[in-house]
Amino acid sequence: MKNRIFVSKLLILNYIRFFFRLALFSVASVLYVISKIQHSESLFCKIEDIKAVPFFLWLICAIHIIKRFFPHSTEDIGCQKHFKRNYSKGKKEPEKESRYKTFIAATAWIIPNSVFAILYFTGIFDKGILIILTLAYSVCDMICILFFCPFREWILKNKCCTTCRIYNWDRLMLVTPLIFIPHFYSSSLVILAITEVIVWEISYKKHPERFSECSNDHLSCKSCKTKLCSNRKAFRGR
């Protein structure tokens, strides 16, 4: 059947993640606006003063990043293709990835976030805006997986998330606004995310064959067990 969605456990889990993150973003945005209207010194109606709240959110984010350092079944193979167990030798040599495209993708992320940094350091943005940006990025992360990814469509031109060259940059992208907030919670998440990217890039340098569908049969469509692309195709009418 045309545009049929393959419903996998991972797809359901990703929708749960999407709505959870959307709820966090929506609640934080409403609380922030209310605080501004009331001219409160608090960022989110004093919710952040309840120690359990920021700790809980930090713990979720930290676990979410740390999981990437180990093979597991709650995410797509696209972010785990650098692990040896997810490699099955293909018949061809790995395709050479365009460094230019990777550079453009990085630049496309750095430029707007540099603008946000300037707005923050000039006092136009405050910490609340940076936190809301982080939550917005977390929602966009799931939008890229479930519906539409501008990096894939417009820059990298990869077939799907499974073959994405920069898949594991996502955590660092997500916490980018937190770089400018000096706090243990924010700094620790940034350090974890940077470490994840370093591990990813070292793996790509040492084992490029694991990142290409040509040289790794586990990345082929016939080996895919999650079929997350079916959701995007159905959403876009393809």
* DSSP string computed for 123-171: TSS-HHHHHHHHHHHHHHHHHHHHT--HIIIIII--SSGGG-TTGGGHH
The per-residue pLDDT for 47 is 96
Section 141-152 average pLDDT:
96
How confident is the model at residue 230, as a pLDDT?
83
3-state SS, residue 57: helix
Q: Where are the alpha helices (DSSP H) in the chain?
A: 9-37, 52-66, 99-121, 127-146, 150, 170-174, 184-206, 229-236
**pLDDT, averaged across the chain:** 94
Please count the other Cβ atoms lying within 10 Å of the Cβ belonging to residue 34: 13
pLDDT (average), residues 172-182: 97
Decide if pLDDT at 229 tops 90. Answer: no
> Taking 60 as the threshold, does the pLDDT of residue 1 lie above it?
no
Please state the domain extents for the chain: 9-76+95-233
Q: For 56-105, how does the pLDDT look when each residue is reduced to its tens digit (9 = 90+)? A: 999 999 999 999 999 988 899 999 999 999 999 998 888 877 899 999 99
Read off the pLDDT of residues 101-134 as tens digits, 9 standing for 90 and up: 999 999 999 999 999 999 999 999 999 999 999 9
